[in-house]
Structure 1
Amino acid sequence: MFTPFEELNTLLAELTGSVRDIFGDTFVGAYLQGSFALNAGDVNSDCDFIIATTTLPTGPAEDQLRRLHDEIPTREGFWTRHLEGSYADVTSLRGIEGLGVPWLFCDHGHRELIWDTHCNTLHTRWILRHHGITLAGPPIADLVDEVPPQAIRDAMRVALPELMAGLRTWAPFDTAWAQRYTVSAYCRVLYTLATAGVTSKRGAAEWARDHLDPRWRPLLTQVIEDRARGWDPHDPPRPGSLEATYEFAAYAESLGWPAP
């Protein structure tokens, strides 16, 4: 059992089998990362995967992958619309030297694959190295090096001042989902700065509730408890929660810890 959901396990087995057939000898392995690898996946999660190959897919293999991911969301079921992941070559996957290499990427619920660095991050490598779930192939720790603590902290120190600007380019701030996502995103950055590790959105919010200034406990508790509301484009933020979120973001950006 890869996840608590039988339907999702069946889909992952089918995806792995189809991809193995497409890649043939260039297939290396299939792995889960993200919330399910962190033992935090639920019905409000997407299912994050990494499929490792000896070389990046091109030609007929790329064409077949595109057709496969165009077809999967048309199938019956819930999880067919909640896959997200990338096809990574083992060379660029192994260590930080591979950062910046675009991988063929399936965005959450999308049918069109794009070349993108979305999954090619230190966070992804850390999760794979420490908690990755093997669907097929060798243990993922054999393919991914340890992420240097200073490297992942430095990446978060750079990301923190730009986080809100980045969110504003795509997050619908008139929804409760975006309000919760924003708080969780800041919590995850602070968690990594403090620990040089990675945890789930809920785990980061719980950590923040326990370790940050107590005045943020009501906001963090609201974010944790409201996760069950899921994505609803017609669900507005709770009164005052968006203003509190902006204040929390400014607070998080002001911390500047730990020192370089």
Structure 2
Amino acid sequence: MPLPENDPRLTPEVRAMLDALVSGVRAALEDNLVGVYLRGSLALGDFDPESSDIDFLVVTGRPVSDDQFAALADLHARLAVLENPYAGHLEGSYIDRAALRHFGPHERRHPTVGSDWAFSRGEHGADWVLERWIVRERGVTLLGPDPGTLVGPISPEDLRASVREALRWWASQPDEPAWLRRRSYQAFAVQTMCRALFTLLTGELPSKPRAVAWALGALPQPWRALVGRSRAWHLDDTPDPGTLPEVMRFVRWTAGEGEAAS
């Protein structure tokens, strides 16, 4: 679906960042460009101007060539230093049409960029089943055909299987992973678990706020209280190792629920 011109998500800063992205992608890919789509919070309707990234997907006709990769790397280096609050908050991937339609985890390394990593070729794992569902069902078209013509159907059981695989990765993390020391990252982990539990139960993929609202009414203690506290953490980058063990216990409990439901 297109993003309406008067959509409140399109703040001047977001619009300027998207204009720069699409213009640069057109120049870098030329006739290999098929479409540009918004995914993530901008597509699901829970975009927070203070904390959300701009999540995007670029679809190409053929895999990105070495010359195109170099041009895209230069583009993202330029975008990262723009005087725009979202300059460091673009998160996206460049995937060719054939790989996107019936995506198999770890089939191929695709160009990707994020707020925590530089433009590079990276593996796209089980969570890309979820991302493909977002693009197909809720994706916002900035350029190109309807995303439903590019992404094959994804069933509720496909979503559940992807969530279970992602939870196995979460459960494999150490008891106190260094990357989760900040409260904002702990909030991300807790709310990702809420979304996973909702998807396992319903076969649907909700926005994180919807998943959190559901969890506050459905989960047993002590997890309900932890979810409630996490809502105050998403803008707080304070390191808080004291809460990390409880967060990881919730992660492991959620992973256990996923295995029990398989």
Q: TM-score, normalised by structure 1?
A: 0.86
Structure 1 pair 26–172 and aligned structure 2 pair: CA distance change class (3 A)? closer
Residue aligning to 1:218:
225
Check the 8 A contact 2:176/2:248 in 1, yes or no: no
Shift of 1:23: 1.6
Measured after TM superposition, the shift of residue 111 of structure 1 is: 4.0
89, 92, 99: which one aligns with 2:96 = 89
Residue 72 (structure 1) aligns with: 79
Query: How many angstroms does 1:102 deviate by?
Result: 1.8
Compare the two structures and name the one with the higher helix fraction: 1
Per chain length, whose mean CA-contact separation is higher, i.e. which structure has more relative contact order (CA < 8 Å, sep 6+)? 2
The runs of 5 or more residues in structure 1 that have no matched partner are none
Partner of 1:148: 155
Measured in 2, the distance between the counterparts of 1:111 and 1:55 equals 22
Query: Once the 2 structures are TM-superposed, how far is the Cα of residue 146 of structure 1 from its aligned partner?
Result: 1.7
Distance 1:94 1:179 in 2: 33
Instruction: Name the stretch that deviates more: 30-39 or 149-158.
Output: 149-158
Superimposed CA distance per residue, residues 110-131 of structure 1 (whole angstroms, 9 cap, x where no aligned partner): 4433333269710111101111
Contact 1:188-1:204 within 8 A present in 2 as well:
yes
Question: Which residue type is aligned with residue 218 of structure 2?
Answer: H
Which residue among 9, 16, 24 is the counterpart of 2:15? 9
Corresponding residue number in structure 1 for 2:123: 116
Query: Could you tell me which residue of structure 2 aligns to residue 244 of structure 1?
Result: 246
Q: 1:99 to 1:115 in 2, by over 3 A?
A: closer
Closer, same or farther: CA 11–114 of 1 in aligned 2, 3 Å: same
**Distance across 1 between alignment mates of 2:81 and 2:71:** 16
Match of 1:28 in 2: 34
How many residues are aligned here?
A: 255
- In 2, the alpha carbon distance for the partners of 1:214 and 1:248 equals 11
**8 Å CA contact 1:187, 1:205 repeated in 2:** yes
Farther-moved stretch of structure 1 (40-49 vs 107-116): 107-116
Gaps in structure 2 of 5+ consecutive residues: none
**Aligned-pair CA distance for 1:217:** 2.3
1:62 aligns with 2:62: no
Q: After superposing the two structures, state which structure 1 stretch, 89-98 or 116-125, moved more.
A: 116-125
Instruction: Note if contact 1:103-1:115 (Cα within 8 Å) is conserved in structure 2.
Output: yes
1:19 maps onto 2:25 in alignment: yes
Aligned-pair identity (%) = 29
- 1:75-127 C-alpha deviation (Å, 9 max, x unpaired): 11211110010111011111245762221111225443333326971011110
State the Cα distance separating 1:257 from its structure 2 match: 6.6
Answer whether contact 2:105 2:128 (CA < 8 A) is retained.
Answer: no
Maintained 8 Å contact 2:17/2:87: yes
Aligned-pair Cα RMSD in Å: 2.6
Corresponding residue SS for 2:38: strand
Q: Answer with 108-117 or 28-37: which moved more.
A: 108-117
Asked whether the equivalents of residues 53 and 90 of structure 2 are also in contact (C-alpha less than 8 Å), the reply is yes
Structure-1 separation of matches of 2:126 and 2:252: 27
TM-score by length of 2: 0.86
In 2, distance between residues paired with 1:119 and 1:256? Answer: 14
Structure 2 SS opposite 1:78: coil
> What SS does structure 2 have at the residue aligned with 1:87?
strand
* Cα separation, 1, equivalents of 2:127 and 2:251: 25
Contact 2:100 2:150 in 1 (8 A): yes
**1:176 aligned partner:** 183
Alpha-carbon distance in structure 1 between the residues aligned to 2:97 and 2:175: 34
